């Protein structure tokens, strides 16, 4: 029960309006510690309610310590992408709907005039992407000196996107703050430890593991494709026969454009999100997808980060991600809030090394499936449990650099696999 967390009645009422009856596990772990004023280093899988885990204590802080004078922003939330910033802002509006707390959002792709109006508003809570905010700091159109709480959402993605230095600079501008919180889907990867050292003081570290129940909700399998055209046929089949609503992930903007054109020529209606897209177009695409007008959303990873759309039945990896944690982020788009979800990867032989790494990372077997009329000509190699020899072989195969003389046994194996690849 949220009441047990000693949140203000106005916040509890808002939660009631939003249909939140009980806190999620990350919320019940984070909120009391954050309300003590501790710095927080928190990780929990995508879709487990991290946003409210930091918005609620932030709002409670503003209610406990009301403003004494008109001034600049008191709570700063940094988000890696525009979509995520806007979603977090909307979430903040909902949570603070019965209070006088003033919220604003600043992201790239919005015109500077709008930013000026936003910043003129004596904001209590500002959600911002680091790049645009830093422009304002440099132009002295934003003042960090009144910031009391700084929150970093999706810190792992911030690092991936190269925001480390900008975020550190923003943090040093906001050096009079009383509290910092860092949220991430994972704390793995070399960067996060240093990042949190730079930003947090003696943090309370909170990690919530994906419960077995949570994971079991997402059914995962893969289809083996012989080549690019077979891959496309499989996708088309899945989209038209199986998926009610789907996000299809591709690895680059160029691939996204190609796929979109191809699907359009087959009369399959899609919308898409990619980086460097005008804000109004992105919003348009998102709302067409969210209101069900279009069932299929094509996206690159950068563009899709943090998107929270309910009821996505399928996540389809048309291109495999480059790392296992990105896979986890992708499939986290489905199976939310107790719904059953499906994640399908369409792989060619050269994707098997990645598929194996992912299976080891998520500690689950990803099984193959076959669509009768689209059977692959080749047999799917089985993905085995962690085994040093398999690991090595796969790595070797990918590395074109090794120019040394081939060792006999291994070389043979590699050659035959290569032929399989066509
Ligand atoms: P994360 O940031 O961990 O990926 P979000 O904060 O985006 O997760 O929340 C995922 C979804 O769960 C959102 O639709 C949100 O409204 C919903 N949600 C969050 N907390 C609760 C709760 N306590 N009860 C019900 N739904 C919740
Ligand atoms: Mg989030």
Atom 23 in ligand 1: which residue has the minimum CA distance? 23
For residue 146, what are its two tokens? 């009144």
Q: Does residue 145 form part of some domain?
A: yes
Please check whether residues 202 and 76 belong to one and the same domain: yes
Let me know: does 74 contact 51? Beta carbons within 8 Å.
no
33 alpha carbon to ligand 1 midpoint, in Å?
19
Let me know: does 118 contact 106? Beta carbons within 8 Å.
yes
Highest mean pLDDT among 298-307, 366-375, 407-416: 366-375
Residue numbers of the domain that contains 277? 217-388
Task: Give CA–CA dist 19/12, Å, rounded.
Answer: 11
Q: What is the position in ligand 1's atom list of the atom closest to the CA of 19? A: 25
Q: How far apart are the first and last CA of the chain?
A: 58
Burial status of residue 373 (CB atoms within 10 A of its CB: 0-12, 13-18, 19 or more): exposed
Mean pLDDT confidence for 194-213: 85
Atom 20 in ligand 1: which residue has the minimum CA distance? 49
pLDDT surpasses 80 at 117: yes
pLDDT surpasses 70 at 33: yes
326 alpha carbon to ligand 2 midpoint, in Å?
14
Task: Give CA–CA dist 192/185, Å, rounded.
Answer: 11
| pLDDT of res. 397 | 39
Atom 10 in ligand 1: which residue has the minimum CA distance? 47
| pLDDT of res. 3 | 83
For 267-315, what is each residue's pLDDT tens digit? 999 999 887 777 788 888 888 998 889 999 999 987 776 566 766 889 9
Atom 18 in ligand 1: which residue has the minimum CA distance? 49
Q: Which of 29-33, 106-110, 118-122, 214-218 has the lowest mean pLDDT?
A: 214-218
Tell me which ligand sits closest to the C-alpha of residue 48. 1
231 alpha carbon to ligand 1 midpoint, in Å?
34
Q: Does residue 394 form part of some domain?
A: no
Mean pLDDT confidence for 395-413: 38
Q: Does residue 409 form part of some domain?
A: no
Instruction: Report the pocket of ligand 1 as residue ranges, CB < 6 Å.
Output: 20, 23-24, 27, 44, 46-52, 308, 336-337
Please check whether residues 200 and 245 belong to one and the same domain: no
Q: What is the position in ligand 1's atom list of the atom closest to the CA of 24? A: 23
Last residue of a domain, one of 207, 235, 270: 207
Please check whether residues 156 and 111 belong to one and the same domain: yes
pLDDT surpasses 50 at 415: no
44 alpha carbon to ligand 2 midpoint, in Å?
9
Higher pLDDT, 398 or 86: 86
Q: Does residue 240 form part of some domain?
A: yes
For residue 351, what are its two tokens? 């994707």
Let me know: does 316 contact 288? Beta carbons within 8 Å.
no
Please check whether residues 75 and 223 belong to one and the same domain: no
Task: Give CA–CA dist 146/80, Å, rounded.
Answer: 22
Give the mutation target among 1, 19, 51 for probing the ligand 1 site: most ligand atoms within 8 A of CB. 51
Please check whether residues 162 and 196 belong to one and the same domain: yes
Let me know: does 278 contact 303? Beta carbons within 8 Å.
no
Percent of the chain whose predicted confidence (pLDDT) is above 70: 86
91 alpha carbon to ligand 1 midpoint, in Å?
10
Kindly list the distances between the CA atom of residue 343 and the CA atoms of 8, 74, 163, 349, in Å, as whole numbers in the listed order. 39, 40, 30, 19
Kindly list the distances between the CA atom of residue 202 and the CA atoms of 168, 180, 181, 219, in Å, as whole numbers in the listed order. 17, 10, 11, 39
Mean pLDDT confidence for 92-120: 93
Only one residue has tokens 């992407």, namely: 129
Higher pLDDT, 206 or 307: 206
| pLDDT of res. 339 | 65
CATH number at residue 76: 3.40.50.300
Q: Could you tell me which of 58, 47, 55, 57 has the C-alpha nearest to residue 24?
A: 47
Atom 9 in ligand 1: which residue has the minimum CA distance? 49
pLDDT surpasses 80 at 394: no
Mind spelling out the 3-state secondary structure of 207-242? ECCCCHHHHHCEEEEEEECCCHHHHHHHHHHHHHHC
User: What DSSP line would sit under 69-130, residue for residue?
Assistant: SS-S-SEEEE-SSHHHHHHHHHHHHHHTTTS---EEEE-TTS-HHHHHHHHTT--SEEEE-H
Q: Does residue 311 form part of some domain?
A: yes
How many domains is the chain built from? 2
Please check whether residues 172 and 226 belong to one and the same domain: no
Ion ligand 2 contact residues with beta carbon within 5 A: 50
Please check whether residues 164 and 293 belong to one and the same domain: no
Q: Could you tell me which of 177, 181, 221, 213 has the C-alpha nearest to residue 200?
A: 181
| pLDDT of res. 45 | 83
pLDDT surpasses 80 at 231: yes
Let me know: does 256 contact 250? Beta carbons within 8 Å.
yes
Please check whether residues 155 and 283 belong to one and the same domain: no
104 alpha carbon to ligand 1 midpoint, in Å?
20
Q: Does residue 413 form part of some domain?
A: no
Last residue of a domain, one of 177, 207, 237: 207
Q: What is the position in ligand 1's atom list of the atom closest to the CA of 153? A: 2
Total Cβ atoms within 10 A of residue 418:
12
Atom 26 in ligand 1: which residue has the minimum CA distance? 20
350 alpha carbon to ligand 2 midpoint, in Å?
32
Please check whether residues 148 and 263 belong to one and the same domain: no
Last residue of a domain, one of 151, 177, 207: 207
Please check whether residues 238 and 180 belong to one and the same domain: no
Q: Does residue 25 form part of some domain?
A: yes
| pLDDT of res. 304 | 72
Let me know: does 22 contact 2? Beta carbons within 8 Å.
yes
329 alpha carbon to ligand 1 midpoint, in Å?
15
50 alpha carbon to ligand 1 midpoint, in Å?
7
Please check whether residues 132 and 174 belong to one and the same domain: yes
For residue 199, what are its two tokens? 């930003």
Q: Does residue 406 form part of some domain?
A: no
pTM: 0.63
Please check whether residues 156 and 12 belong to one and the same domain: yes
Q: What is the helix (H) or strand (E) element at residue 390, kind and residue range?
A: helix 388-398
Atom 25 in ligand 1: which residue has the minimum CA distance? 20
Tell me which ligand sits closest to the C-alpha of residue 312. 1
The pairing of strands 218-224 and 125-128 is unpaired
């Amino acid at each position: 029960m949220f009441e047990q967390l000693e949140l203000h009645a106005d916040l509890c009422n808002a939660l009631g309006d939003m249909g939140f009856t009980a806190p999620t596990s990350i919320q019940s772990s984070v909120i009391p510690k954050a309300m003590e004023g501790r710095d927080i280093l928190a990780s929990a899988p995508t879709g487990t309610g991290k946003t409210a885990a930091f918005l609620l204590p932030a709002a409670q802080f503003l209610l406990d310590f009301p403003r004494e004078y008109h001034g600049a922003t008191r709570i700063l939330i940094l988000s890696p992408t525009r979509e995520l910033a806007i979603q977090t802002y909307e979430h903040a509006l909902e949570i603070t709907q019965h209070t006088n707390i003033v919220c604003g959002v600043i992201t790239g792709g919005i015109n500077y005039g709008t930013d000026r109006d936003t910043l003129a508003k004596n904001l209590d809570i500002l959600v911002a992407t680091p790049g645009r905010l830093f422009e304002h700091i440099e132009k002295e159109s934003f003042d960090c000196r009144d910031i009391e709480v700084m929150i970093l959402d999706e810190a792992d993605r911030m690092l991936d996107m190269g925001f480390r230095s900008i975020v550190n600079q923003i943090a040093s501008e906001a050096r009079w703050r009383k509290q910092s919180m860092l949220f991430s889907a994972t704390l793995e990867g070399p960067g996060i430890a240093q990042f949190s050292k730079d930003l947090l003081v003696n943090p309370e570290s909170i990690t919530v593991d994906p419960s077995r129940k949570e994971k079991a909700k997402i059914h995962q399998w893969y289809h083996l494709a012989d080549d690019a055209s077979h891959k496309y046929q499989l996708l088309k089949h899945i989209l038209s026969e199986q998926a009610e609503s789907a996000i299809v992930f591709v690895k680059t903007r160029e691939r996204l454009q190609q796929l979109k054109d191809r699907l359009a020529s087959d009369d399959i209606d899609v919308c898409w999100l990619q980086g460097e897209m005008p804000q109004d177009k992105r919003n348009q695409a998102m709302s067409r997808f969210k209101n069900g007008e279009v069932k299929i959303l094509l996206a690159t990873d950068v563009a899709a980060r943090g998107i929270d759309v309910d009821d996505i039945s399928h996540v389809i990896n048309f291109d495999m991600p480059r790392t296992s944690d990105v896979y986890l982020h992708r499939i986290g788009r489905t199976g939310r809030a107790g719904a059953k979800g499906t994640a399908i990867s369409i792989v060619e032989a050269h994707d098997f090394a990645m598929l194996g790494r992912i299976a080891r990372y998520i500690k689950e077997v990803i099984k193959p499936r076959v669509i009768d009329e689209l059977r692959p000509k080749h047999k799917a190699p089985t993905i085995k449990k962690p085994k040093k020899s398999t690991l090595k072989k796969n790595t070797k195969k990918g590395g074109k650099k090794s120019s040394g003389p081939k060792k006999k046994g291994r070389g043979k194996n590699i050659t035959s696999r290569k032929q399989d690849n066509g």
